[in-house]
A = this chain, B = another copy of it.
Amino acid sequence: MKRYPHTSRILVALDCIVFGFDGSQLKVLLIKRNFAPEKGKWSLLGGFLDHDEDMNDAGNRILYELTGLKNIYFEELKTFSGVNRDKVERTISVCHFALINIHAHNPDAVKSKNAYWYTLQSLPDLIFDHREMVDLALQKLRYKAALHPIGFELLPPQFTLPQLQKLYEAIYNEKLDRRNFSRKIISTHLLIDTGQKNEGGQTKKAILYALDKHKYQKQFNAFHYFISGFGTSA
């Protein structure tokens, strides 16, 4: 047999919400689409699944082309499969989201592809169902970061507790109690005190921590409840 009978073949795309954190705000990487239709409009990072690659290959390829980064944290979110979501031809899109250290990506690659970082509050109009994808990705990020140490993927290798707290406050758009947050993070034993303090700081210098990668991987699926009150019935 060469093909299955009575079936229809369609295009499979991969779109990805790339999150970054600049120290005070959560940002999303958007790209100016350079082919028709909707050429020149804002879109998520994406591409078509090639005949000789699986989804993981495609994700790595697409993320590498734009950011110059390998081994990026990304995970699958949902398949968007509306019949008319692309007017040219039937295309389903497997939506992913990625978390990167915003200071580590290659700004030249980003610029040359006409990509820019947008805050969630100032997103431009997006093509197709990409806005829906962003909303879902934020929802998933909030869910997952409340339970698992996923937030560290958005920070540089060394960071302070106040920086980590600012990240969580940006993700949930709410203030957290400094003392309780600190207690929670320290009690995970996921952080290693580097013995150093952050330079260029203001007022009191904070301790620089690094992630204990071994414990991080081992405990990744453990529940941590980083955010109190998140997920309650309210």
A contact set with B: CB distance below 8 Å: 1-4, 7-12, 36-37, 48-56, 76, 78-79, 81-83, 88-92, 94, 143, 147, 218-219, 221-223, 225, 230-233
Query: What are the residues of chain B within 8 A of A79 when measuring CB–CB?
Result: 55, 76, 79, 94
- CB within 8 Å for A89 and B3 given contacts A12-B12, A54-B81: yes
21 contacts between A and B (CB under 8 A): A1-B36, A1-B37, A2-B88, A3-B88, A4-B88, A4-B91, A7-B11, A7-B48, A8-B48, A9-B9, A9-B11, A10-B51, A52-B83, A53-B83, A55-B81, A76-B79, A143-B221, A219-B233, A222-B233, A223-B225, A223-B231
Distance A147 CA – B9 CA, assembled complex (angstroms)? 38
In angstroms, how far is the closest chain B Cβ from the Cβ of A87? 9
Query: A10-B51, A81-B94 given. 18 additional CB < 8 A pairs?
Result: A1-B36, A1-B37, A3-B88, A3-B89, A4-B88, A8-B11, A8-B50, A8-B51, A10-B12, A10-B49, A49-B81, A49-B92, A51-B90, A53-B83, A54-B83, A55-B92, A56-B81, A147-B231
A143 and chain B: residue at smallest CB distance: B221
Closest Cβ of chain B: how far from A190's Cβ, in Å?
A: 10
What separation, in Å, do the CA atoms of A143 and B48 have in the docked complex? Answer: 31
B10 and A9 within 8 A (CB): yes
